[in-house]
Every structure is written in structure tokens, then in C-alpha cells.
Chains A and B, each alone.
Chain A
């Protein structure tokens, strides 16, 4: 694998190889020595032009547990604030002999562009409203665990756990990079994604994504196996996308009543950070069938697996 820019880059075999690898990586978390030697001598730079706690930290831990040297660069306090262009910043760091960049940037397509400039491998950790492939992978990882725990697993490794499963994604689809990556990844894994949002929060061209779109949450909830709530960014309120938080919660929040109406065996996902009382009620966030904390725990393992798949072999590495 040269880069991980889009969840759509992954074919079924590589997606499953990453998910299977993450199962083994997760064992490291419970070991006395949390270290595997696979990426010894590799240098991974996490460069974040946008705030992030969990993604940046989990990539940093993932790299360190695989014995890579991980360095964090945040846009604040770097030459970026002195007006250096993205291209110059990346080329400068690349010239230091970095093996991989993990990049988050507010502009859609930034990771793709950087990949065209540098010799290092590039992992997209979120580009604007475009994509966040490792989030989709860890969502899939958590869902797979959940499906397996229900005993619905078929031949292990066949990837068929997702076949026929209905995954409802609810919320601010317009500003979400998580949704696009999930749609692309589930297209490969076989899950059936249903998109739920008020009409004002639908991205343009959503009809070409190949999944049903509705504004009726309750109808979609009735047969969803996974209910994935997306964060509603409070700053969007000023944009007039919806009238008030209360009204949003009423139509599109996972309220206690909706929690009770979920199908037996269905589970809740949320990429975080959560706005309790807006898109998700506290009862739902802390419910027994909430996968939110599993998602965080799986995040490190999935990112370890991604780093291993990109950097474990010299194939396609910088010359």
C-alpha cells in the first residue's frame, strides 16, 4: 500500500487484512510490554493543521507501540503560522527523511495533494469535509466485534459479518468526513448504509452515493443493526441549518424513547466527541449496547494495523 488517502482505496482483501491485523494488535494493550518491533527505525510525523485529541493521540500511541519514532507537529507554533505554504512545510519535513505523514487538514483533498509532493507515505487523518478513512476502519472494527458477539459471525475472515447488515448514519452529513469514508468502506465490506439527515444537512450529490437517504429517523431506526450518530457541530447552528438544539434533538437525536425503540441486538456508534443532549442522550451514550468506548479502544489497534500495513515492508518506501 502506497498511501491511505480514501477508504475507497481499500479492496476487500486489504480492508480485511487491516481489520484482522488490528485484532492481534489489540492484544498488545493488555501485555506487560506494550511494544512490537515491527516499525523499528521508521519515522512517522503526525502533522495536524486542525485540533484533535483522540485521532492524534491514538496515532501517536499506535506508532510508539510499533517502535516507530513518532513526532507531533501542530500548525500552531510551526512555520505555518509564519506564512509558509503547505507545500513548503511538507517538502521541508520530507527532506528530513520521514517515512510517513499522518496528516489532518481543514481543506478537502489536502492529503491527496501532499501525497503528490512527498516521497514519504501519507495517511489521511481527516481532510476537511471529505474523508477520514481510519475512523471508518475503526467503526467497522467495532461493528465487527459487535456482530461477532451476537454469534452472527460466519466463516471468520470472510468479511461476511457485514453482509445484509443495516447501518444507519444520522446527523450532519453535510459537514462530516466520517460519513463519506464509512459509505465507501461499507460498499467494499458489504454493509447497507442508510443516511438520515434533515434536508438542510445533506451534501450535494448525495444521491450518487448509492445508498438510501431519508429524513425519517424513526423509520430508519426500526430496522437498523447499527445506529451511528454523528456530532452536530454547535457552530453550525448560526448557519441556520436547523432552528434550535432542542428541535434537532427531537427530530434527529438518539433520545431515550428512540433508544427503547431500537431493534434487539442493535448497537450505537459515535465517532466522538459527543454532544450529550443534542444528537445523543446520556442514556444512549452510556447504554449497554453503546460501542463508543470500544471505538476508542479499537482506534489504537486499527491505526497500528494501518501503520504496519503501510510501513512494515520496504515495498513502495522512500528511496
Chain B
């Protein structure tokens, strides 16, 4: 999950843009096609965005998929706050929204997040799904895979793979929230 209140990338000289708006758009378009190809269509698909930015990415992917298939795809949000393994180590986090569009049983769930890093968020998301029902399959779509996994988790659909150092901070900025579409890398001493 990305930092909910990112600072401006221009605030530090060590921050650089690695994906611009046009590239980000093309990556999403490719991911939409890949999701459809892997699933052989939009049948039974359910996109679940992980707050905050995963939700917006899921909406965009759903829009692209609907454009390709000519019919809407189910889309929802999955908050994983209560399932985090570092819940206790941090000050109380406010709980986000979970909205599941219909029955999860036998659906093909595609989890959508902005950055795949340690894999802990996704592990928590899989735990959360298990309490909601039994999907036929769970897949993972992320805009950025930056490496440094701490758990055996891999993405099925990746927008961009970026080589990073563990102490660097990768930030996805989306026009809906941040006024622009970019991915930046920096050493701003942030949370990731």
C-alpha cells in the first residue's frame, strides 16, 4: 500500500520520475489485455482494489476491460488493515472501506495494488479474502514490481518492473488523487 499522504516529488532533488503519464497509461492498457487473455474473457472476473491507490487503478483497469469486451466487469475494494501483520507495531490505523460486488465464491478475483514490495500487503489480502468466501482463483495485478520480497508472493500481471535499493521509496501518483500520473523513485526518508 502506498503512503496515503505522499509529499510532493519536487520537494527533494533526489526524486526522479521513472514512469510518466503516457507510459503509465500504456502499461495499464497492456495489463487490461493480459488479464482478459489469462482469463479467456471477462467471465467471472472480479477486480478488487487495495486502498488507497489500488482502488483507483482497479477502476481504470475495469474501464479499459469494459472498453475491450463491451460489457462491465465487477469491481470492488478490499481493505486489509485488520489483517496486517504489523498492525500492533504501529499507532492505530483507521479502517478503510471493503466493498465486495456480489458473491465472491467461484469468482476469479484479481487483486489490484500500486506497488509490490515486501509482499506482506498481498499476504494480508489473501487472508482477508479467505474470510469473505472461496474464489475460484486469485490473481495479482500491480502497476510496479520493485522487488525485495519478504514472502513467497509473485504478481501475475505487472505494469513495470523497476530495480530499486531496499531503502528507496517508490511512489505511484495518480491524477484522481495527486493531479498527475507518474511513478517516482527517491530517497526522501519516507515510510518505504
Contacts and interface: CB of A to CB of B under 8 A. Distances in A.
Interface stretch (A29-37, A167-175, A268-276): A29-37
Contact of B87 (A24, A33, A35, A312): A312
Nearest to B90: A313
A35 B130 CA distance: 11
A20 interface: yes
- The size bracket of the interface on B is 20 to 34
Interface string A285-319: 00000000000000000000100110011110000
Interface in A45-68: 66
> What does DSSP make chain B's interface, helix, strand, loop or mixed?
loop
Interface residues of A, number: 22
B131 A308 contact: no
Given A27-B98, A31-B132, A35-B131, A313 B83 contact: no
A36 B81 CA distance: 10
Given A33-B132, A313-B90, A24 B83 contact: no
Nearest to A35: B131
B114 interface: no
A38 B87 contact: yes
A33 B91 contact: no
B79 interface: yes
A226 interface: no
A21 interface: yes
A214 interface: no
B97 interface: yes
A25 interface: yes
A228 B92 CA distance: 32
A1 B92 CA distance: 9
A17 interface: yes
B93 interface: yes
Contacts of B96: 24
Contact of A37 (B91, B93, B95, B127): B127
A312 B83 contact: no
A17 B95 CA distance: 8
B94 A32 contact: no
> What does DSSP make chain A's interface, helix, strand, loop or mixed?
loop
Interface string A1-12: 100000000000
B131 A31 contact: yes
B133 A32 contact: yes
A27 B132 CA distance: 11
Contacts of B130: 33
Contacts, number: 54
B22 interface: no
Nearest to B124: A37
A247 to B, nearest CB: 48
A43 to B, nearest CB: 14
A179 B164 CA distance: 57
Contacts of B132: 31-33
- Of B82, B90, B96, which is in contact with the most chain A CB atoms at under 10 Å from its CB? B82
Contact of A25 (B83, B90, B95): B95
Contacts of A312: 82, 87-88, 92-93
Contact of B92 (A24, A32, A315): A315
A110 B87 CA distance: 31
B13 interface: no
Nearest to B127: A37
B89 A314 contact: yes
Nearest to A310: B92
- Of B79, B81, B83, B96, which is in contact with the most chain A CB atoms at under 10 Å from its CB? B81
A192 to B, nearest CB: 27
B94 A17 contact: yes
Nearest to B130: A33
Interface in A249-268: none
Nearest to B89: A314
Contact of A308 (B89, B91, B92): B92
B87 A313 contact: yes
Contacts of A20: 94-95
A308 B95 contact: yes
A315 B97 contact: no
Contacts of B79: 24
Contact of B98 (A21, A24, A35, A38): A24
Contact of B88 (A27, A31, A314): A314
A314 B97 CA distance: 23
Interface of A: 1, 17, 20-21, 24-25, 27, 31-33, 35-38, 66, 305, 308-309, 312-315
8 smallest beta-carbon distances between A and B, as pairs: A38-B82, A33-B131, A314-B88, A313-B92, A36-B82, A24-B95, A21-B95, A312-B92
7 contacts: A24-B79, A32-B132, A32-B133, A38-B83, A308-B92, A313-B90, A314-B89
